[in-house]
Amino acid sequence: MINFLDKYFPNVVALGWGGDAGWGTSIFQTLYMTFWSAIFGGILGLIFGLLLILTKPEGILANKVVYNIVDKVVSIFRAVPFIILLAFVAPLTQAIVGTQIGMKAALVPLTLGVFPFFARQVQVALESVDTGKVEAAQALGASVSDIIFDVYLKESRSELARVSTVTLISLIGLTAMAGAVGAGGLGNTAIAYGYNRFDNDVTLVATILVLILVLIVQVVGDYVAKRLNHQER
Average of per-residue pLDDT across 102-129: 93
Q: Which CATH class is domain 11-232?
A: mainly alpha
pTM comes to: 0.90
Instruction: Give Cα separations from 216 to 60, 110, 167, 230 (angstroms).
Output: 38, 21, 14, 21
Reported as a single tens digit per residue, the pLDDT across 132-162 is 999 899 888 889 999 999 999 999 999 999 9
Average of per-residue pLDDT across 55-59: 92
Q: What are the contacts of 153-157 at 24+ separation with CB within 8 A?
A: 155/129, 155/130, 155/232, 156/125, 156/126, 156/128, 156/129, 157/228, 157/232
pLDDT band for position 111 (cuts 50, 70, 90): very high
Lowest mean pLDDT among 122-126, 178-182, 221-225: 178-182
Reported as a single tens digit per residue, the pLDDT across 93-108 is 999 988 888 888 999 9
For residues 129 and 155, is the Cβ–Cβ distance under 8 A? yes
Average of per-residue pLDDT across 53-80: 94
The domains of the chain are located at 11-232
Q: Which amino acid is at 158?
A: S
Average pLDDT along the chain: 90
Quick one: pLDDT at residue 78? Answer: 92
Reported as a single tens digit per residue, the pLDDT across 29-50 is 999 999 999 999 999 999 999 9
Lowest mean pLDDT among 60-69, 120-129, 155-164, 221-230: 221-230
